[in-house]
Chain A
Amino acid sequence: MKKISIDPVTRLEGHGKIDIFLDDQGRVTNCYFLVPELRGFEKFCEGRPVEELPRILTRICGVCPEAHHMASAKACDAVYHVEIPSTAKKLRELLYSIFFVADHTVHFYALGGPDFVVGPEAPVAERNVLGVIRKVGLEAGKKVIHTRSMAHEALTILGGKAIHPVTALPGGMAKGITEEERKKIEGYTKEMVEFGKFTLKVVEDVVLANKAYVDLILSDTYAHKTYSMGTVDQKNRVNFYDGKIRVVDTQGKEFVKFEAKDYLNVLAEHVEPWTYLKFPYLKQIGWKGFVDGQESGAYKATPLSRLNAADGMATPLAQAEYERFYKTLGGKPVHATLATHWARVIELLYAAERSLELAQDLEITSGNIRTIPTATPDEGVGCVEAPRGTLYHHYITDEKGIVQKVNLIVGTTNNHAAISMSIKKAAMGLIKKGTTITDGILNKIEMAFRAYDPCFACATHSLPGEMPLVVRILSPEGEVLDQVERF
């Protein structure tokens, strides 16, 4: 038997390794997705004052610290049983929506986009953000850099620091914004809405106009029927900052809708000895291994799942795109993993529109941004939609607010089982008897999980950046016959 290891996985945040086992005929027998990192935040947060966790747990991930900052602040509010002022909530959501614009932009143009915009078979040296810019034009490249730069500045105003924000604390926000700052942010968010529209046009012109890409997106190699998870508002529309968590089944029917505090009724996590990352699943259905379908507890929590789990978008332009998305792809739910890229761009537009709404809200500059907690702290769960999936922070404290226990289920982790299955399916579809393993084939296998935008910094509460990948082919005796390695 042969083993192919892909290590490290490129254009992903964090480290990871894929081992693909082949039989003597060169057919895929099994695939394993190994996450080689752990940091153990659950343990070392014990003993810390709970109000410090929004500043400690940001260090899980420097790519999406805003998600951890928000989930943590919400968990702290819950621990102290405190309602935060309306302006504080709007400031948090404004910060968070602008972060989503920046994060989804980076994923589409630098991480996931190159596969489509430049092409899955393009030479490695072209399949990067510079290749995307060459294809869509330097003006577009400048727009990407400009959007990032505006987000950077707005996030510094709102969060205190662009990387590892500090302003959310139990009861609200430590800092408000002035009218001058509001005007500046309003200007930025107007440009972000235009950028969102522009990016959807790129999807349309470069991806949807190319039949080969559409066929690839819709091919069975990249499809998985699983349950879909996402946070929704009172009208069941996508929301990133707050709401109930809704799970729909493989047919799109509501399976459960729950409040963050009840997550333990819905979710459990399975442990395997060969990876540091756990595998969450729907408790009521149970862990059935790495299989999809209605009878498997494996689920997805991705931009695509959020669209599947909701009835629509809360802003007009994004809603129109939502309708077009399902019309084009043949109705709800969509199970084509690669459509996640398109879903992400629709979310980008929603985040931009929502940012603009909030930046124009008259209440946003109010000085009423803090409620001093008075209740005895005990236990709380805080939940947001991180760009890569639903994020759960759960804290238990003593009566002084000193942390006793912490539990975390982070964005990418939700998708660990689904990612493993997607890789296996792609590998089985692409590697047959006698197949020569080319760089293009390995890239197509990577595409299967790149759609999830996995961030193993978050998932292992460990590393990001780019995910290293090694593909090794091993003989039945364990001898390495071939190895492709990148990082």
Chain B
Amino acid sequence: MSKPKLALYWAASCGGCEIAVLDIEEKILDVDANFEIVLWPCVTDFKYNDVRSMPDKAIDLCLFNGGIRTSENREIAELLRKKSKILVAFGSCAGEGCIPGLANLSTKKSLFDRVYKETPSTDNSNGMFPQTVTKISEGELEIPEFLEKLIPLDAVVPVDYYIPGCPPQPHQVWAVLEHIIQGKPLPPQGSVLGAGVKSCCDECPRTREEKKIRRFYRPHEILVDPRQCLLDQGIVCCGPATRSGCGALCVSAGVPCRGCYGAPPESPDQGAKMLSALSSVIDSTDPEEIEQIISTIADPVGTFYRFSLAGSMLGRRGK
């Protein structure tokens, strides 16, 4: 019997997802033994045209990482959807835009202005911007179009499953692959794989006493107690609004969770979930005072939607 065909692809990502797959270490040999790898840019030498010439649905499983930032990313997403039976949004970028999705707080124009005109080292007196087609004496040069917004994979094509995380932790990547290798039944379409079903707090080794607080601190402003809940100490920690699965790595290392595993089940909007978690720890019933205490949070949107902005109602606006 022929082995199931596996494809891995990266769009507008940082490459951390690729490294996370390599970090399953010797189990990568099991992946090689159980799948026929038909596309994996960082390991194999296959070509776009090889994929184009495949029959539709020829790829059994496609792990797609990276968000959709350019016209080329979009084209490849459409191609791989057509050729794949199961398409997985792998990692935070493909799933909900991740940190590059914060670009959706600005316009494309302001972004180009900053990068190509206003940055102090840039010398661009002609006001030249990159263009999709440039005529040169030898002919034409083409680069893909930079889209107005960064969009998650499921805003371009239907997605079967999501593996969250920035990056997904290797043990979770392996858990999903092993499940598939063993031929176990898959959960309903649209499910999140490779993560827990509770919140990050559930895995956190710190002790939470649900203390009421009167002001928030920024992480560099105080020395924190190594055993006590960070939120109890007044540090904004997105643990309550984040799905479990990573093993509470950041909080264990003394810094607050920033939500890379996305919202927990039953909480579609991570930012809203975080706001409600915070309002329950504030030591006041006076609306004015609550507002004053909330205002000590430096950057609510960039903190509560650090990873999920592009996939949220807020970040999709104007797409």
| Chain A residues packing against B (C-beta within 8 Å) | 1, 3, 8, 10, 13-14, 17, 19, 21, 29-30, 32, 34-44, 46-49, 51-52, 55-56, 58-63, 65, 76, 80, 124-125, 128, 145, 148-149, 152, 156, 159-164, 166-167, 169-171, 174-175, 263-264, 267-276, 278, 280, 287, 370, 372-373, 394, 400-402, 405, 407, 409, 457, 462-466, 468, 474, 476, 478, 485-487
Contacts and interface: CB of A to CB of B under 8 A. Distances in A.
Given A37-B69, A275-B130, A280 B121 contact: yes
B218 interface: yes
| Size category, B interface | 35 or more
Q: Which 8 A-B pairs have the closest CB atoms?
A: A62-B16, A160-B253, A464-B15, A174-B254, A62-B14, A21-B138, A274-B141, A62-B15
B46 A167 contact: no
B223 A43 contact: no
A51 B218 contact: yes
Contacts of A3: 138-139
B227 to A, nearest CB: 13
B23 A49 contact: no
Nearest to B10: A465
8 contacts: A21-B139, A39-B69, A44-B105, A60-B14, A160-B252, A175-B254, A276-B143, A372-B221
B143 A152 contact: no
A164 B219 contact: no
A10 B20 CA distance: 19
Contacts of A56: 99, 102, 306
A167 B142 CA distance: 41
Contact of B138 (A30, A37, A263, A465): A30
Contact of B18 (A62, A80, A476, A487): A62
Interface stretch (B109-117, B151-159, B176-184, B283-291): B109-117
Contacts of B14: 58-63, 65, 457, 463-464
B253 A166 contact: yes
B15 A463 contact: yes
A372 B217 CA distance: 12
B134 A273 contact: yes
Contact of B49 (A32, A58, A485): A485
B220 A171 contact: yes
B29 to A, nearest CB: 10
B45 A43 contact: no
Nearest to A271: B124
B69 A274 contact: no
Given A62-B14, A264-B121, A49 B131 contact: no
A159 B255 CA distance: 11
A130 to B, nearest CB: 9
Interface string B131-150: 10010101111111010001
Interface stretch (B81-89, B263-271, B296-304): B296-304
A286 B310 CA distance: 40
A442 to B, nearest CB: 12
B111 A40 contact: yes
Given A174-B255, A464-B14, A485-B49, A48 B114 contact: no
B167 interface: yes
Interface of B: 10-20, 23, 25-26, 41-43, 45-49, 66, 69-70, 72, 98-100, 102-103, 105-106, 110-111, 114-116, 118-124, 128-131, 134, 136, 138-144, 146, 150, 166-167, 218-223, 249-250, 252-255, 258, 298-299, 302-303, 306
Contacts of B12: 37, 39, 462-463
Contact of A462 (B20, B69, B124, B255): B69
Contacts of B306: 56
Given A163-B16, A164-B16, A478-B139, A278 B41 contact: no
A63 B17 CA distance: 10
Nearest to A38: B146
Nearest to A39: B100
Contacts of A61: 14-16
Contact of A174 (B99, B219, B249): B219
B120 A485 contact: no
Nearest to A152: B23
Contacts of B302: 47-49, 52
A42 B114 contact: yes
A486 B252 contact: no
